[in-house]
Every structure is written in structure tokens, then in C-alpha cells.
Amino acid sequence: MARVSEIAFACPTCGAEATAGLDGQGRCAACGAETALTLSSSLRDQRVVDRCPACQGEQLWVKRDFNQRAGLAIVILGAALAPFTPFYSSLFVAAAIDAVLYLLLPEIAICYRCQAVFRGFRRNPRHEAFDLHVAEQYGTRRS
């Protein structure tokens, strides 16, 4: 089953999260402002992100679509239960859960310049994992 393609970007009016689909029509949930994004043909037709339609940036990075706080909670729970489980097996269970989630969850692309998030698109082979050197050029931090 294919995921619905979605672009999440900062609303130019209020800065809250706005979302757009493949039609390029974005809407802010907070203020209701509408933004028209200009999608490249690669993004629209092939569902491959080649540039960010929100800021026209061409440098993006990829990661798994997983809430880091939830991952940290799994590790903390595994560590807290470790003294009470045989051979600290709760740590192994936490590691197994993390590995399964890593295999199952889809990748998302994130723009270095404006932090727009692209869900439900095919991976562009030019985009790699987060690179601190590239991020420092834009003054961004890893999310």
C-alpha cells in the first residue's frame, strides 16, 4: 500500500506547520493561510524529491520517520527494567524493538535549509544521512 505524499513546511505567515500534497496547495493548520508551492516535475510525476518547493533548496537528508522521544522512552524502560529481568534481557528486548521499528518505518527526506519534511516520496539516491558539515552551512540542527 503506497503512502500518501505529504510536504510539511513552515507557514510563511505564522511559522507553524503547514502541509501540502502533490497538488502543491498548502494550508496552515494554525492560521488557515494558504500557500501555493511550485513542485518540480520530478516531485510531482515521479514522486522523487529533487529540490524543496518551499525554499528551492537542493540539499536534503534522510532518516526514518520515528519519534526520537518514543525511541528514548523504549531505551529508558529497557534500562529501568534491566536489574529485574534475567540476564538484563529487557535491554535486548528494547534493542530488538528498535531494530524492528528501523526496518518497518519508512524514510523521510528533510530540507537542510528550511527543515521541510517530505513523507510518502521515493528516495532520491543523492540524499544521504544527516551531515553535520552541510547542516552547519545552513545553521540548522538535526531534528
Same-domain status, 54 and 116: yes
What confidence tens digit (pLDDT) does each residue in 112-137 have?
999 999 999 999 999 999 999 999 99
Same-domain status, 9 and 73: no
Question: One digit per residue, pLDDT tens: the chain, 143 residues?
Answer: 457 899 999 999 999 999 999 999 999 999 999 999 999 999 999 999 999 999 999 999 999 999 889 999 999 999 999 999 999 999 999 999 999 998 999 999 999 999 999 999 999 999 999 999 999 998 866 65
34 lies in some domain: yes
Chain Cα centroid distance, residue 108: 4
Same-domain status, 16 and 60: yes
Please spell the DSSP secondary structure of 26-92, one letter per residue: EEETTT--EEE----HIIIII-B--S-TTT----EEEEES--HHHHHHHHHHHHHHGGGSGGGHHHH
Quote the pTM value.
0.86
Structural domain tally of the chain?
2
Q: What is the domain range of residue 7?
A: 1-65+107-137
Radius of gyration (Cα) for the chain, nearest Å?
18
Same-domain status, 56 and 5: yes
143 lies in some domain: no
What confidence tens digit (pLDDT) does each residue in 32-47 have?
999 999 999 999 999 9
Residue owning grid cell 500557500:
35
